[in-house]
Amino acid sequence: MVEACRKLGITEQTYYRWKKEYGGLRVDQAKRLKGLEQEHVRLKRLVADLSLDKSLVKEVAAGHC
């Protein structure tokens, strides 16, 4: 295990953290989880952009610009 971590360029601590978090998942479940996490990040970014747009529209409508 130590040699595998070295070859992958990760620390043993990272290995054990990943094992604790993902150890019970099958490969297909882990891939699905990764995809869902990426989609979550994309959607959070989209919400932030839309919130900013809404705020700017409110300012313009109120005549503050």
pTM of this structure: 0.61
- Amino acid 33 reads L
**Tokens representing residue 21 in the block:** 């978090």
Alpha-carbon distance of 5 to 57, in angstroms, equals: 51
pLDDT tens digits along 10-21 = 999 999 998 998
Q: Quote the number of domains for the chain.
A: 1
The token duo for 6 is 């070295």
Average pLDDT, rounded, for the chain: 93
Helix runs in the chain, H state only: 2-8, 12-22, 27-62
30-48 confidence digits (pLDDT tens): 999 999 999 999 999 999 9
Its domain, for residue 9, covers 2-62
